Amino acid sequence: MKWFDRFLKIYTYIILALMYLPIVVLIIFSFNESRSKVVFTGFTLENYYRLVNNFMVWDAFYNSIWIGVVVTIVSVLLAILMSYGVTRYSFRGKAIVDSIMLVPIIIPEIVEALTLLVFLVILGFSLSPYTIIIGHVAFDISFAYVVIKARMAGYDPQFEEAARTLGADEFKAFRKVTLPILAPGIAAAALIAFLESYDDFIKTFFTRPPGFLTLPVYIWNMASRRGFPLDLNALASFVVIISLVFAYVRRRVERGVLR
């Protein structure tokens, strides 16, 4: 069976390499001169100059970041409350509450996006960056909850009880003992929540005010045209670098979680 193991190994490597191929190709073509063909005609940095001078991109990037940060703070706070409640108290319907929390992860985003839009319009909300935030929090609570709850389920409440025998009240015990122990889990949850918001396209697209751009919406506007807008390739290089930084941070955080 040695040959079979070797076959599996080579197969895995090939597929993994293919996963990276579209990204590598994007970056290679970001240096291409010709904007009309998918053939490499000559090296240029032209696409990067255009990217740097495109204020719309940076505006969109800025919007993605600040919306992501607000969404992360709100959803992580709510998720901490929820996970604490579910792991620490027993009450009727706990299993139901737990599965309700998973629904936003399972329901396809396009359905969430459209129903939220209809809801907002019928209630007479006008669309704004805040409606985007409201929508993002509605699915990000669930992502953050899953991560924090997993961490909290493995946390021994005796730490907190020990703190209370030493004279801390419940709030102090939570703040001084539970929270620091859960910190790596919370950091991991925050990172995931941020990325889900920062990278979200569909829900943003449906609930944004007209003309308001985030990075994914900008990418969509460019990519959904026919042809090959090469400044998008230059933007891809930038996005890839940011993503690799996130991946690195995430790995560090996860190592912290394991420890």
Scanning residues 119 to 148, which ones bind another protein (CB under 8 A)? 119-122, 124, 134-135, 137-139, 141, 145
Please tell me whether residue 12 binds another protein under the rule CB under 8 A: yes
Please tell me whether residue 29 binds another protein under the rule CB under 8 A: yes
CB-based contacts of 181, cutoff 8 Å, min separation 6: 155, 159
Q: How is residue 108 annotated by DSSP?
A: -
CA dist., res. 17 & res. 232, Å (int): 23
* Contact by Cβ (8 Å): 69, 223: no
Please tell me whether residue 236 binds another protein under the rule CB under 8 A: yes
Contact range with another protein by CB under 8 A, out of 17-25, 43-51, 149-157, 178-186: 17-25
Contact range with another protein by CB under 8 A, out of 44-52, 54-62, 178-186, 193-201: 193-201
Please tell me whether residue 11 binds another protein under the rule CB under 8 A: yes
Stretch 205-224 residues interacting with another protein (CB under 8 A): 206, 215-216, 219-220, 223-224
* Contact by Cβ (8 Å): 163, 173: yes
Please tell me whether residue 170 binds another protein under the rule CB under 8 A: yes
CB of residue 246 to another protein, shortest distance in Å: 6
CB of residue 231 to another protein, shortest distance in Å: 12
Structure tokens at 136: 């993002």
Please tell me whether residue 5 binds another protein under the rule CB under 8 A: yes
Stretch 93-122 residues interacting with another protein (CB under 8 A): 97, 100-101, 103-104, 106-112, 114-122
CB-based contacts of 31, cutoff 8 Å, min separation 6: 43, 44, 45, 47
Identify the residue among 33, 244, 252, 256 touching another protein (CB under 8 A). Answer: 244
Residue pointed to by tokens 């953050």: 144
Stretch 33-92 residues interacting with another protein (CB under 8 A): 37-39, 78-79, 81-82, 84-86, 88-89, 91
CB of residue 240 to another protein, shortest distance in Å: 6
Which residue's CB is nearer to another protein, number 59 or number 109? 109
Size of the site for another protein (CB under 8 A): 86
CB-based burial label for 200 (10 Å; 0-12, 13-18, 19+): buried
Identify the residue among 128, 146, 183, 199 touching another protein (CB under 8 A). Answer: 199
Which residue's CB is nearer to another protein, number 82 or number 177? 82
Please tell me whether residue 9 binds another protein under the rule CB under 8 A: yes
CA angle 209–100–76, rounded 5-degree value: 60
Q: Which residues in 60-78 are b (16+ Cβ under 10 Å) and which e?
A: bbebbeebbebbbebbbee
Please tell me whether residue 243 binds another protein under the rule CB under 8 A: yes
Closest CA to 116 of 98, 94, 131, 99: 131
Collapse the DSSP code of 43 into the 3-class scheme (helix H, G, I; strand E, B; otherwise coil) and give the result: strand
